[in-house]
Structure 1
Amino acid sequence: MLFTFSSSCVVQQSPVSGVNRAYAYSWNQEVEIGRQVDSEIVAEFGYYNDEIVQNYFTGLGELILENSHMRREDTAEQFRNTEFTFRILDSPVVNAFALPGGYVYVTRGLMVHMNNEAQLAVVTGHEIGHVAARHASQRGLQQMVGQIVVIGGAILGQELLGLPGESILNLSGTAAQLLFLRNSREHERESDRLGVEYAAKSGFDAAEGAAFFTTLRRLSDRAGQTLPNFLSTHPDPGQRERSIPELALVWAERGVEQNRVNGREYLEMIRGMTFGENPRNGFTEEGIYYHPELEFQFAYPENWQIVNQPTRVVAISPGRDGVMILRTDPDSETARESVGSFLRANDIEPESERSLRSSGRYAGYEAVFTIEEENGDRLKVQIYAVEYAGRVYRFVNYTDEDKFSSYSMDFTLSVASFNALTDPLKLAIQPVRIELVEVQQSISLRELLPSELPMQIDPEEVAIINQLQLDERIEAGSLIKIPVQD
C-alpha cells in the first residue's frame, strides 16, 4: 500500500547540513515512497529504449552522486548506503525531476536541448540536491500546517518547463500528491547551489549550466509567455543565467578545477536520439489518430486536443468540458466483459447497454451511466469497448450531465470510427532523430540548414536545440544537431 501524507512528523538529520529537523517522513519512508512511485512514473511516461544512453546517464549520475553530501564520510550511514536510480524518460518535454529516496529523471527532450556533459551534470546535481536536502519531506511537513499551495502540472516542483496536467490521469494518490507539490524558491535556489557544487567537485565546468537556462528562456519566450504559471516559485531562467556562473566562480576561487565540458563526446552520445513526439507511438493527421505499432486508427472531433501517452490516448474538447480516454484492457477477453468488469468494479448500474460494432465491423459493447462527484457535480459517462487484433480497447468518454446531449454524437462517432490502420505510408512512418553535421568552414546556421525540415520543424527550433542564433557564425569543426527523418 502506498504511503499517504500523515498527520505526524519525524525529527531526523539533514544529509546536507547534518542538523536535526522535522520532516513529514522518515528516510526509510522516503525510500519506499520513491520505490513505489517510480514504477508508476515509468509506466506513465515511458522508459527511453536505448541501453547505451541509459547506462551513460547512470554513470554520470553516479559520478555526481559520489561528490554529493549523500556519499561523504561524515554523512549518516543510512544516507550513504541509499542506492540511487537514474532514468531517461521517453518524453519530448524538456524536463527533469526527482522522487524522494533517490530517484532522478531526465527526459530525452531535455537531453536533446543540451550541448555538453557539463550542462547535464549541473541539472543532475540539482536533482540530487533536492533528494539530499529532503525537500519533498519538508514540503510534506509544510502541507500539514497549510503552507503549501497545490498546483497542477508540477513534478515535485522541480520541473524545468513542466508536464501538462493531463499527464497525471493514471497516477495513484501518493504519486499525484507528489506530482502536485511545488518547491519554494528557497528550495530551488538551494538545489541550484548544490547542483553547481556537485558538478564542480566532479570536475565539470559548472558555469556551462547557464547556457541551458538561456535555452529554457528561449523556449518559454517561444511559447508566448514569461513563465508557465506552475513555475511561479522557480527563479526566472534569466536570473539563473547570471547566478549559475557566480556559483561556479565560488568553487573556482576555492581551487576546485572545473575543466570537464565534453561537448563532442556528449553530442556523439545523443546522435540518433528521438526528437519531438515519436509517431510510432501514435500521431494525428487531419482529425484522425493513427497508431502504427498497434495498427489502429480512429477519428476525433474537430478542434479537440490529443494528449498521447504510453498507456492511453486522451482527447479533450476545446472548452475542456468533454473528455475521451482510450486504453487497452489486458484483463478482458471480450468487449462485453471489459464493460461489465468496469461497471462491477465501480459499483455502477448503467442506464443503458448495447452491442455496437465499429466501422471496421469489430465487435463492440457500450454502456451509459451517470455518477455524482464529491462536490455534487454530476457527470454522464459513455464506456465503449471494442475487440481488435487479439486485444480489447476501451473508451471512457464523459462530460457534465447537462452537456451530454451536445457531446454524445461526438463520442459515438469517434468510437464507431475505430478501425484497422492499413495505409502503408502511415504504418511505415519513422520518428525524427538527431543527426550531427560537422561544419567544414565558417557559416551561419541559417545557411547550413537543409531547405526542408521534417515534421513541420522550423529553423528556430533547430537554433534553440543548438544553443545558437540563426544568423550566428559557426566555427569550422563544430558539431551541429540537425533533425532528420527516414
Structure 2
Amino acid sequence: MRKNWVLHGALAVFAAHVATPAVAQIIKPNERAQAIKQHPQIVAQFGGAISGPVATYVSNVGAKVATTAGLKDQCTFTVINSDVVNAFAVPGCYIYITRGLMTIMNSEDELASVLGHEVGHIVGKHSLKRTQASTLSTIGAIALGIATKSEEIMQTAGQLAQVYTLSYSRKQENESDDYGVRYLQANGYNLYAASDMLAALAAQEALDAKVKNRQSRDVPTWARSHPITTERVARTANAARAAKASRDVPPELVRPYLTALSGLRVGDDPEQGFVDGRRFSHPSMKITFEVPQGFSLNNTTEAVEIEGPNSLKGRFGGGMPLTGGLDAYAIAKAKETLGQTPANIGIATPGTTNGMPTVTLLARAQTRSGLVDVGVIAYSLNGRAFHFVMMGPADGLSPTFPITQTFRELSATEITALRPRELEIVTVRAGDTVASLSARMAYPDFKTERFLMINGMSAERPLRPGELLKIVRFSPAGR
C-alpha cells in the first residue's frame, strides 16, 4: 500500500495535479531495456562514471526520492565525470548528474531537489512528449547552419546527446518542479532547497561569464535543457512560503553532503586535458595551444571547442596514431566536417609550425546563410595526428590563423606544473575570514568570487566557527 503523504497549503494543490501514476504506467520494460543498453554509451560520452562515496551518496538520496515517486528499486542514479553543470533523465529512469553540478550545490536538500526534478520528468513522461529535434552543438550543424551527415559530427556528438540537449517546455518544467517540491516535502527536506539550487546555477553562470570576459547568458548551462524563468523561480519560492516552510526548519543537511564531496575533482580531468584561461594543455599528449584575447575555450570529452568574435568558431582534436599521409588526414577532416554541404576544397599545402610538419587547406561552403570558409590545419607530432578546424564568414580565415601557430609540444617542466584540482572541505575556525579562506583557492584569479560562488554565500555573510565550507585545492601528487 502506498503511503499517503500529508501536504499543506500550496503543496496540497500541487499534489492534486501531480498524483503519481500507477507504477506500470511509468516505466515500461522496453524503456528500461533501452536505458540499460544506452547506459555505457552515455557514460562514455560524458567522461565516464564516478565511483566511491559520492556515487553511493547520490544513489542513496536518489533511492529515497524514487521511492516517494512510487518507483522503489526502479531507478539508477549515476554521477558522471564532467565539469559541465547539468543533470538529465533518460526514459527507463536512468538519472545522470555531473560532478560540475555537484560542486556548486551545498546540501543534500539541494541534491534531492535536482534528483526529484529529474524523476518528475520520468513520472510525467516528458521525454516522450518532447519534439525530437536535436540541438547538438557541433561545428557542422551550428557553424554551417545545416543538418549534415558528417561522420565526425555523428561520432563526436552522438544521437544520445539529444537526451542531454533537448529542451523541455515551460509546462513540463512546472510539472516537474511540482513533483520535485512534493518529493522534498515527503522526505522531510527544506522546501527552499529548490530556489537555493537555482540561485547557485545563476551565480555559477555569472561568474563563468566574468572569468571568460563575455556577456552572461540569459540562463545557466543546466537551463539550456531545463528552461528557467523568473516565473519558475518565484513559483517555487512561493510554494515554500505558502506551505509555511522555514528557511531554517528543517535545517538543510550540509555536513553529510559536503563530507561526501571531499576530494571530488573540480575543473578539467587530466585525461581530457586542461583549459586554463585562454590556454589548453594536455599532459599525456604533451601538447598545448593558446587562443587570442576575445576567444573562449570549452573542453569536452571529444574535442576542444573554440569560439571567437566575428562569428568565428573552431574545434581542436586528434591524438590518434597517424596512418597514411598528413595531407590525406587533413582532407578527410575537411570532408567529415562539411558532410554533404556543397563546397570547393582547396589544395592541401605542406608546411611547418614550431618544427612540426603541417598540412593546411581552405574550403568554401555554400550554406543557407551565405558563403562560409572552413580552414583545416593538421599536424604530425610524435607519430600522432592533431588538427584544428576553423570556420567563419568568407574571407575571414587565413592558413596562418593565429591560433594554429601557437600549437606546440609541452616541455617536461610544463607537464609537471599541470595539476588537477579537487574540493577540500574545511572547518571554519575562529579568526577565519572570507579573505583568508579565499586566498587558499587554487586559482590565479577571482579567488574571492570563486569561493563565494561554490559556497552559495554573499560577501556580507559572516563565517560561523565550526561550519563546513568548500575550497578548491590542487590535488596531491598521484591523484
Fold-level similarity (TM above 0.5): yes
Who is 2:20 aligned against? 16
Q: Are 1:109 and 1:275, in contact at CA under 8 Å, matched by a contact in 2?
A: yes
Where 2:375 maps in the other structure, the secondary structure is: strand
* Aligned counterparts of 1:274 and 1:248: Cα–Cα separation in 2: 37
Q: What letter corresponds to residue 392 of structure 1 in structure 2?
A: A
Task: Please point out which of 353, 359, 383 is paired with 1:358.
Answer: 353
Matching of residue 369 in structure 1 with residue 342 in structure 2: no
Query: CA 1:35 to 1:172, structure 2 compared with 1: closer, same or farther past 3 Å?
Result: farther
Task: Please point out which of 216, 220, 225 is paired with 2:201.
Answer: 216
Cα displacement string for residues 353-409 of structure 1 (whole angstroms, at most 9, x for unaligned residues): 233333133x33333333333x26333323333222343223222323x22xx4214
Who is 1:63 aligned against? 64
TM-score by length of 1: 0.73
Q: Are 2:373 and 2:397, in contact at CA under 8 Å, matched by a contact in 1?
A: no
* Aligned counterparts of 1:344 and 1:277: Cα–Cα separation in 2: 30
Query: CA 1:137 to 1:61, structure 2 compared with 1: closer, same or farther past 3 Å?
Result: same
Who is 1:3 aligned against? none
Cα displacement string for residues 444-485 of structure 1 (whole angstroms, at most 9, x for unaligned residues): 742652545331233233223223333323333211212223
Matching of residue 392 in structure 1 with residue 392 in structure 2: no
Total equivalences in the alignment? 425
Q: Are 1:445 and 1:471, in contact at CA under 8 Å, matched by a contact in 2?
A: no
Q: For 1:27-38, list aligned pairs within 5 A.
A: none
Task: Report deviation, 1:53.
Answer: 2.0
RMSD: 4.1
Who is 1:234 aligned against? 228
TM-score by length of 2: 0.74
Q: For 1:88-167, list aligned pairs within 5 A.
A: 88-140=79-131
Q: What letter corresponds to residue 442 of structure 2 in structure 1?
A: P
Task: Please point out which of 434, 445, 451 is paired with 1:446.
Answer: 434
Task: Report deviation, 1:134.
Answer: 0.7
Query: CA 1:45 to 1:70, structure 2 compared with 1: closer, same or farther past 3 Å?
Result: same
Where 1:415 maps in the other structure, the secondary structure is: helix
Task: Report deviation, 1:84.
Answer: 3.3
Q: Are 1:108 and 1:273, in contact at CA under 8 Å, matched by a contact in 2?
A: yes
Q: For 1:57-456, list aligned pairs within 5 A.
A: 57-71=58-72, 83-140=74-131, 170-172=156-158, 175-176=161-162, 178-219=163-204, 227-228=218-219, 233-236=227-230, 238-239=233-234, 242-243=237-238, 245-246=240-241, 261-277=252-268, 281-283=272-274, 288-320=279-311, 322-328=312-318, 330=320, 332-334=322-324, 335-342=326-333, 346=339, 350-361=345-356, 363-373=357-367, 375=368, 377-400=370-393, 402-403=394-395, 406-411=396-401, 413-422=402-411, 424-441=413-430, 445-446=433-434, 448-451=436-439, 453-455=441-443, 456=445
Task: Report deviation, 1:129.
Answer: 0.7
Query: CA 1:398 to 1:152, structure 2 compared with 1: closer, same or farther past 3 Å?
Result: closer
Unaligned runs of 5+ in 2: 1-17, 138-152, 210-214
Unaligned runs of 5+ in 1: 1-13, 72-79, 154-166, 253-257
* Aligned counterparts of 1:180 and 1:285: Cα–Cα separation in 2: 26
Higher relative contact order (CA 8 A, sep 6+): 2
Q: Are 2:310 and 2:392, in contact at CA under 8 Å, matched by a contact in 1?
A: no
Task: Report deviation, 1:332.
Answer: 4.9
